[in-house]
Copies of this chain bind each other. A is one copy, B any other.
Amino acid sequence: MRKTPRQQRSREMVNRLLDATAATLAERGLDHTTTNHIAERAGVSIGSLYQYFPDKNALVEALLERMAEEASARFRYRAERADFSQMDLRSVASLAIAYGMQRMSADPVVRELVQNWNRIPIRKLLDPLERFFLVMAQPYFLHRYRDYPVQNLEAKLYVLINAVLFTVIHFHEQENPVIRQDQLIQTLTDMIVGLLEAPQPASPNG
């Protein structure tokens, strides 16, 4: 069969281009990232780039998807190590936020992309994460469900993910934030716990 090696080459090429996209994005920012830069960085002709991706947007989209997969894998790995089900919500939330913030400082690509969320199909990155968290959180909530049933779990997770994510990004972007990082984490944790654990007999939604 001829197909396998070809597919493999193709895959390599795609990965190389995606790596180059990420690197260029981190280095120059979305605004100053050009397809020619990406091709050059990938050590590939611009023509070849367009053989694998129809346009610049597709490139970013694919990168987003790959990052989502990687992030899911990373989270899964961590989740397997640490037995979250044994921890209380507060600890889990606090840990997750701290971990996320560290990831964000470490990965300029994530920052660059999320900063420009409106110009890219950011859901490609966020949706998998949201789904993943939902799945991850399932056992926890199932376990507590009888005592503290959480209504509207989907809406709550949606809100929390967005809220935490963009607040953290915005915080990161500010030169002189009005609050400290530990205050931010603490308050975000409080917010999460407040929404998920507090008894809400008054909420008639849904």
Q: Which residues of A contact B (CB under 8 A)?
A: 31, 90, 115-119, 123, 130, 152, 154-156, 158-160, 162-164, 166-167, 170-171, 173-174, 177-180, 182-184, 186-188, 190-191, 194-195, 198, 200, 202-203, 205-206
A187 touches B119 (CB 8 A): no
8 contacts between A and B (CB under 8 A): A130-B178, A152-B187, A158-B178, A159-B191, A162-B167, A180-B206, A186-B205, A190-B198
Measured between beta carbons, the chain B residues less than 8 angstroms from A174 are: 123
Measured between beta carbons, the chain B residues less than 8 angstroms from A178 are: 130, 154, 158
Chain A interface SS verdict (over half): helix
Measured between beta carbons, the chain B residues less than 8 angstroms from A159 are: 167, 184, 187-188, 191
B155 touches A183 (CB 8 A): yes
- Residue of A31, A194, A206 ringed by the most chain B CB atoms within 10 A: A194
Measured between beta carbons, the chain B residues less than 8 angstroms from A190 are: 156, 195, 198, 200, 203
Q: Which residue of B lies closest to A168 (CB)?
A: B162
B184 touches A31 (CB 8 A): no
Q: Which residue of B lies closest to A118 (CB)?
A: B115
Measured between beta carbons, the chain B residues less than 8 angstroms from A188 are: 159
B179 touches A170 (CB 8 A): no
Measured between beta carbons, the chain B residues less than 8 angstroms from A203 are: 186, 190
A183 touches B152 (CB 8 A): yes
CA distance A171 to B163 in the complex (A): 11
CA distance A32 to B128 in the complex (A): 30
Measured between beta carbons, the chain B residues less than 8 angstroms from A154 are: 178-179
